[in-house]
């Protein structure tokens, strides 16, 4: 489910500036604070960390999923969704890891991004081939991955396919205003 990488939503420099300029909680976030957060996340466990030299740390999908399970215990952010999210956030193709700059952009996207930037992130999650459009199959595949997660019993497979078809057909009927069989970001 990796798909093609997308054009970055925000540059590293702009994300770092936005994160360090504004305050979180009671204090300012420094560049050193961001570096420590990245280093702590990338050191989760030896099996999660890339085999890169120690001066070039990278964050693996496993460490990301373990450390940043935002939705809590009742929602399983499945491996397929994490894989696609990593691709959209700028993961290294060869290793499937996030470097420090991509990590800073990720922190920005999850904490400080505008509504429009969040919409672009989600749109890019669904646009597997990077065409700038979401085709019906792409919408259905991502919907199934989001609903299913990794811990769904096989006996629910038919229900998930039925639900995802209903959601896909409804979304296309509502939002594909020019009826070309795909959704542009403007229609999204």
Q: Which tens digits make up the pLDDT trace of 38-73?
A: 777 666 433 344 444 444 577 777 777 766 555 444
pLDDT at residue 178 is higher than 60: yes
**Lowest-confidence pick of 58-62, 76-80, 132-136, 143-147:** 76-80
Q: What's the pTM? A: 0.73
Considering the chain, what is the average pLDDT of its residues? 75
Over residues 80-90, the mean pLDDT reads 82
Q: What's residue 159's pLDDT?
A: 82
User: What distance in Å separates the CA atoms of residue 163 and residue 173, rounded to the nearest whole number?
Assistant: 15
Q: What's residue 26's pLDDT?
A: 47
pLDDT at residue 119 is higher than 60: yes
**What pLDDT band is residue 25 in, cutting at 50, 70 and 90?**
very low
**What pLDDT band is residue 177 in, cutting at 50, 70 and 90?**
very high
**What pLDDT band is residue 22 in, cutting at 50, 70 and 90?**
low
């Amino acid at each position: 489910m990796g798909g093609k990488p997308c054009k970055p939503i925000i540059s590293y420099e702009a994300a770092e500036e936005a994160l360090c300029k504004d305050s979180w909680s009671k204090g300012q976030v420094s560049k050193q604070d961001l570096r420590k957060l990245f280093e702590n996340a990338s050191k989760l466990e030896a099996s999660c960390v890339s085999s890169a030299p120690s001066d070039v740390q990278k964050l693996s999908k496993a460490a990301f999923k373990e450390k940043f399970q935002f939705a809590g215990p009742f929602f399983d952010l499945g491996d397929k969704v994490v894989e696609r999210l990593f691709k959209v956030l700028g993961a290294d193709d060869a290793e499937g890891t996030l470097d420090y700059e991509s990590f800073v952009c990720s922190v920005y996207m999850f904490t400080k991004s505008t509504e429009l930037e969040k919409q672009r992130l989600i749109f890019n999650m669904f646009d597997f081939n990077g065409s700038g459009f979401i085709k019906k199959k792409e919408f259905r595949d991502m919907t199934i991955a989001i609903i299913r997660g990794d811990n769904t019993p096989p006996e629910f497979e038919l229900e998930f396919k039925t639900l995802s078809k209903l959601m896909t057909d409804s979304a296309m009927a509502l939002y594909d205003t020019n009826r070309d069989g795909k959704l542009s970001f403007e229609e999204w």
